[in-house]
Amino acid sequence: MLFRKGCHFKGYALHFYYRPSPRRRVGFAVPKKLGNAVIRNRFKRLIREIYRQRRSCILPFDIIILIKVQARDSDAAALAKEVDRFLTTCGLIESVE
């Protein structure tokens, strides 16, 4: 439902799907091409932590974050910058601290 009726935003290492919702929810998807389970879980933990730090400022939306294979070349700061760009460009956040 979110993929069909929601909006999307493409970045270099992350792809976001979102739509308004009565509450904040987030999901993560990582392809097996990214690496073994240890590597995939590391990226999920990293993105989850970036989201957790910004959660209080995010408006109530359903968000799915697809982590692309290109994320392998990115560090934590680059991924955080991409999440911030998504949130501000799509108007899901007032200000990022």
Interval 11-70: pLDDT, tens: 999 999 999 989 999 999 999 999 999 999 999 999 999 999 998 888 999 999 999 999
Q: What is the pLDDT of residue 96?
A: 45
Q: Binning pLDDT at 50, 70 and 90, where does residue 6 land? A: confident
Q: Domains in the chain, please, with CATH? A: 2-89 (3.30.230.10)
> Among candidates 82, 63, 45, 76, which has minimal Cα distance to 7?
63
**Residue range 3-18: mean pLDDT, rounded:** 87
Give the integer Cα–Cα distance in Å for 60 and 14.
Answer: 20
Residue pointed to by tokens 């290492």: 13
Determine the pLDDT at residue 4: 72
pTM reported for the whole predicted model: 0.86
Both tokens assigned to 68: 């692309």
Q: Please name the residue that has the structure tokens 């919702």.
A: 21
Do residues 6 and 62 touch, judged by C-beta distance below 8 A? yes
